[in-house]
Amino acid sequence: MSRPSFKRTLAFVGAVLAALCLCPNIALAADTSEGKGQFTFDGWAGPAIRVFVTEPTELQPDTPLVFVMHGRGRNADEYRDQWHDLALEHGFLLAVPEFSDENFPGSRNYNFGGVFDENGQPRPRAQWSFSAIEPLFDTIVVRYGLEANGYALYGHSAGAQFVHRFLLHVPDARARRIVPANAGSYTMPDFDVNFPYGLAGSVITDASLAGTVQLPVTILLGDRDIDPKGRNLPDAPDAQAQGPHRLARGFTFFEAGRVTAERLEVPFNWHIATVLGVGHDNAKMAPAAVPYLLD
């Protein structure tokens, strides 16, 4: 089968962007300190990770678990605080792992998952940053007495870059609801573009791609995240080829996933949604993400 046409993808993106107006704003809940905590996770082959949590008022064995991945600022505590009242209101256990600059320096070790070392050589799978999530899930299940066989996964900005690349590299992960929000760049399912903006040189194959496009993903985008010179917006040529801003790049990625599923002849289970009037702002995206993360 032939590779997808990305000229067709970009044409699709242009048409969709002209008609955007999909999702209402949702007000943030009031702040409170109830249920906040943290612990250190060291049950994997990489460095120890602080995990900031919010426990709902009535923690039960069937309480849902939601992982939230922080942005480029490595501000896991701030992300926990922005999600805290939502966890209490909706009754889920919130966990925000901190991939610190000290232990996971640069985009290579966070956004791109640490799959390559500083010399561009592949690292052992157990040492990928992506490889922390599944054993962390197992640790939380035991620590909090959960009966969960899966979790929800959200990331904003650099965290969304982490989330969608995690799915590409770990398509058998136990993530049941997945929401990358406002990523600045994507790893496109294109074997002619070098990683991290495409698949050339990566370990990803058509077989793993087939699993990824069948996962329950919702790409969530602020419809005002449209600054082509936005702060920390990746400006490498391969990133710019995905679109002029984060909103356009999200639609490009979604359409590339649809074309890939069609090429591989497998079901396509991704969705895409926009949040009206919101730009590059995790605190305002978070309430809109909740319905896509919970049953």
Half-sphere exposure of residue 84, counting CA atoms within 13 Å on the CB side? 19
Mean pLDDT over residues 61-83, rounded? 97
Contact yes or no for 208/228 (Cβ under 8 A): no
Cα–Cα separations (whole angstroms), residue 7 to 44, 65, 239, 256: 42, 39, 15, 10
Averaged pLDDT of the chain: 91
pLDDT score of 27 more than 50: no
Residue type, 213: V
Beta strands in the chain (DSSP E): 36-41, 49-54, 65-69, 93-98, 151-156, 175-181, 218-222, 271-275
pLDDT in tens, 188-200: 999 999 999 999 9
131-173: per-residue pLDDT in tens?
A: 999 999 999 999 999 999 999 999 999 999 999 999 999 999 9
pLDDT digit string, tens, across residues 181-224: 999 999 999 999 999 999 999 999 999 999 999 999 999 999 99
pLDDT range class, residue 268, cuts 50, 70, 90? very high
Q: Which pTM does this prediction carry?
A: 0.88
pLDDT tier at 28, thresholds 50, 70, 90: very low
Burial of 108 (0-12, 13-18, 19+ CB in 10 A): middle
Fold of 6-293: Rossmann fold (3.40.50)
At 241-265, the pLDDT tens digits run: 999 999 999 999 999 999 999 999 9
pLDDT digits (tens, 9 = 90+) for 93-117: 999 999 999 999 999 999 999 999 9
Tell how strand 175-181 and strand 151-156 pair up: parallel
Amino acid (1-letter code) at residue 83: W
- From residue 255, how far is each of 10, 203, 219 by CA, in Å? 8, 22, 11
C-alpha 106/C-alpha 187 separation (Å) is 17
Tokens coding 70:
């922080």
32 band by pLDDT with thresholds 50, 70 and 90: very low
Helices and strands in the chain: count of H runs, count of E runs: 9, 8
3-class secondary-structure state, position 122? strand
Domain boundaries, the chain: 6-293
**Of the candidates 149, 146, 175, 150, the residue with the CA atom closest to the CA atom of residue 162:** 175
70's CB contacts (< 8 A; 6+ apart) are 76, 78, 79, 96, 98, 99, 155, 156, 158, 159
How far apart (Å, rounded) are the C-alpha atoms in residues 131 and 110? 11
Given this model, what pLDDT does residue 14 score?
54
Give, in degrees to the nearest 5, the angle at Cα 276 between 20 and 10. 35
Question: Residue 4 above 50 pLDDT?
Answer: no
